[in-house]
Amino acid sequence: MTCFLSILSTATAYPCQNKHLSAAFWLILLIPVSCFTFYSLVPPGDLIGLQLASERGDLRMTESNSPKSAKKPRWTSLEICLITIVSLLFIIIIALIILFATQKTGLCRLSAHAASRLIENMDASMDPCDDFYQYACGGWLKKNIIPETSSRYSTFDILRDELEVILKVVGEATALTKAKTLYKSCTNERKSAHRGGGPLLDMLPDVFEWPIAVNEWETNYGKSWRLEDVIAKLNEKYGTQLLVNFFVGSDDKDSNSHIIHFDQQTSLGLLSRDYYTCTGPYAEACQAYEQFMIDLAKLIRTDRGLDINETFIQQEVARVMALESEIANATDTPEDRNNPVLLYNKMELGDLNANFTLEVDSQQFDWSYFTAKIMNTVNISVSDTEKVINYSPNYYRRLNLLLSRYTKRDLQNYLVWRFAMNMVVGLSRAYRDTRKAFRKALSGTTSEAAVWRQCAVYVNNNMDNAVGRLYVQEAFSEKSKELMIKDIREVFISNLDDLTWMDALTKKAAEEKARAIRERIGYSDNILNDEYLNNEYKDLAYSAEEYFENILQNLEYMQKRRLRKLRVKVNKEEWVTGAAVVNAFYSSSKNQIVFPAGILQPPFFSKGQTKSLNYGGIGMVIGHEITHGFDDNGRNYDKDGDLKDWWTPDSTHRFLELSKCIVNQYSNFSWDLANGLHLNGNNTLGENIADNGGIRQAYQAYQNYIRVHGKEPPLPGINLSHDQLFFLNFAQIWCGTMRPEQAINSIKINVHSPGNFRVLGTLQNFPEFAKAFKCSKGGYMVPENTCRVW
């Protein structure tokens, strides 16, 4: 009995608690109770009757060898029951000891691992009140070096690397067999080397050739050349949007319907318009970009047996650079595109011909002909009365002015160059190496990732549901689908009452939108259905010997799938991402938050982690994605995902004023790694608002949790409170570093602040952090002036 009580006492008191022990405890109690109940329900006479029946032979035995004259005393039924109890108790106690030891070891091993990770990544010599990022990530920064194949390295990248290893495994369903074939073709370097640049040379005539890489282009192609034909072909067959960005997407003001969109060119060879100054930190990238073009043109001409005229090639390249520089400057700046209300210009297709003239070599661009040429490939007819949305009217006006300064040859050189530069990845080493110096100048990487790793990423990007199925079966636990979304959503809603800047009418609409958010966790059940997957990929027929052609097939397949949606109602239940992704998402048009299986792992989430770590990890991410529905962009969409102003003018004014505080705070951060450049607080506003809201909601949800369930036992091996652990795990999610070249890119084109400033900026604005670490006001982590929107 002493042993029995000891085990039960330990099972209920030990920090690594186990629900199985509680169940066993009640089982132990029930056995004697049931036995004594049985004894009390059977009258004494009946027990005697049972014994007499046995003596009379009414209960048959298999055999009995005892002589009648030597009978032993028989056990009473009560004695038999008690012996049974003792035997069962002994067996259960042994089982409990084994179970308890196993579970105790397993859970405590997870706790020890979490504590070890936290300790290894932090630098305890730093004062958390001086620089919490260095305190949290100093150890990580010392022990992790950026691989030569990468421009950056972070917690996210480590998890993605691990995920890519898992993706090397291939399943048996037909769709997975196709994924295997695609992967094999990608890793078949021997075949790619044998084919050289042949596949690219063979398909260039399909896009009206690259003038710089062929003789007599004007004679063979120039006379019949039309801009509409070229960019339509690049769009519908290869999914490449140049000059005119044509695509089918949901109607912002009617999110259940699809509509044709016209936008500015969003893809530039040098990433952002700033690079085209070609001075200062951008000079090397410009030079490498031009050399990339020169080397590729020379390689193609050599393979075609054509002469190499260095002067001629350099002149052609210079014209292409000048043209792309003007295109970049014609685009609207990111700051000009922050407001979706201003971007929404709905009109009829015929209005484009009437109001947005484009002219090349005295040829008028026919918007109706261009649109029909694309949509005819999916058997959809359009007329001049077709409703379309023009996101960039000013861009098209500026584009028309610059086109008058260039010839059709210049445009064709540019269009095919931009397509060809992205296609060299599917060719031999000689072709891939033409971009080596450009890659180094742009991102700082000196070598490529292993071929198998590149191929795992490529297959995942192009067959996300098939690969998601594989990942879920190999590495995802169903228990991971249990998240704390409801708790954090309720915190967001309850916090609305605390916002003095928002009036009651707008608060009511905000609550309705928050409650209407759809949640997607882990993966779509469809990906486990062979029939569904096989149907999704039924039109794809890969060859293990022809990787380049497989790439072209994927480009066309994906674009046709998008175009066919024009007459189809938007499926708001559809996932916006695959499962094998280390990220999370919010869709404003679907009012949907998504947490793929790939992110539901430590340090973000684990059933074996303390709640403080889970709330500081995936909890903050959940809060972040919920807040996206109310940031500078998401706030423009209502609960149904429609672009609609549901704010009163006063609440809008107050929101914009509070947002300016966030803009100014982050714009004041300068980054030594990026040559001292300041962050762009306007470009990163939405993400910064989401970070600040997410940390507040997750922390309050955790406090609600411990009020209901009680405080958690200390995490062994680390002398920090759970409030401190919450903030520590949040910060360590963003541990990472970049090469200087990538740091500059990040500031120019990334809508997220760099990881260190995501930590610093967010915690500077949150008083509970200062309380947890007892930081004095006025220090770096507790500035006099702070910002809060949500």
Nearest-angstrom CA–CA distance, 641 and 619: 24
For 491, the token pair is: 């915190």
Distances (CA, A) of 514 to 307, 495, 583, 746: 65, 12, 21, 31
How far is Cα 35 from Cα 650, in angstroms, rounded to an integer? 73
CA-based radius of gyration for the chain: 33
Q: Work out the burial of residue 379: count CB atoms within 10 Å of its CB; fewer than 13 is exposed, 13-18 middle, 19 or more buried.
A: exposed
* 3-state helix/strand/coil string of 363-387: EECCHHHHHHHHHHHHCCCCCCCCE
User: Residues 628, 514: contact at Cβ < 8 Å?
Assistant: no
Distance between CA 179 and CA 737 in Å, rounded? 33
How distant is the alpha carbon of residue 454 from its chain centre? 18
> Looking at the annotation, which residues are catalytic?
625, 691
Contacts of residue 350, defined as CB under 8 A and 6 or more positions apart, other chains included, come to: 368, 384, 385
Measured CA distances, 516 to 263, 489, 618, 694 (Å) = 30, 10, 21, 18
CA distance 297 to 210: 9
Of 703, 698, 758, 753, nearest to 732 by C-alpha is 758
Respond yes or no on whether the N-terminal peptide bond of residue 73 is cis (omega within 30° of 0): no
Q: CA distances (Å), 199 to each of 193, 420, 425, in order?
A: 11, 11, 12
CB 320 within 8 A of CB 297: no
Residue 552 corresponds to which amino acid?
L
Residue with tokens 């949500």: 790
